[in-house]
Amino acid sequence: MRQVIFEKAKFLQHIQAKLGEIKDGYCSIELPIQDFHLQQDGFVHAGVQATIADHACGIAASTVMPEGKIPLSIEFKVNMLRPAVGERLVAIGTVLKAGKTIVVTEGEVWAYQGEQKKLTAKMQATMAVVEL
């Protein structure tokens, strides 16, 4: 079920994101960096980072919801910490507080160059718990 949120999201395919791991209160999404992800300075666009972080947060939130409920992004805030450059990005979403109507999550985006990684963005995202 959680996987469906990834597979049915056409925009995630369009940017060539790949589902990583889903665990309780956790989801990771990988993105091999391509030329078309970049903004005018040669860094990955903030919107790309926001997309994978928000989506990872949404799937993480879905893991703490009862059957028949799905997450919908109410809002998020993201700080861009360093230029996002490298071979690939990994977005990680985790649940901070699971409520009945609202799930609060945190997202991180890491840029990898070989084994080296650095944190490029940090998000706080609020998800509504809605009927399927």
In the complex, which residues of this chain contact a copy of itself (CB under 8 A)?
4-6, 8-15, 35-41, 44-48, 50-52, 54-55, 70, 72-82, 96-97, 101-102, 104, 106, 119, 122, 124, 126, 128
Q: Which is nearer to a copy of itself, 26 or 120 (CB)?
A: 120
The amino acid occupying position 18 is K
Shortest distance in whole angstroms from residue 23 CB to a copy of itself: 20
Nearer Cβ to a copy of itself, position 18 or 122?
122
Phi-psi region of 10 (alpha: psi -120 to 50; beta: other; left: phi over 0): alpha
- Cα dihedral angle (19, 78, 122, 38), rounded to 10 degrees? 60
CB-side neighbour CA atoms (13 Å) of 42: 3
Amino acid at site 52: I
Query: Is the Cβ of residue 115 or residue 131 nearer to a copy of itself in the bound state?
Result: 131
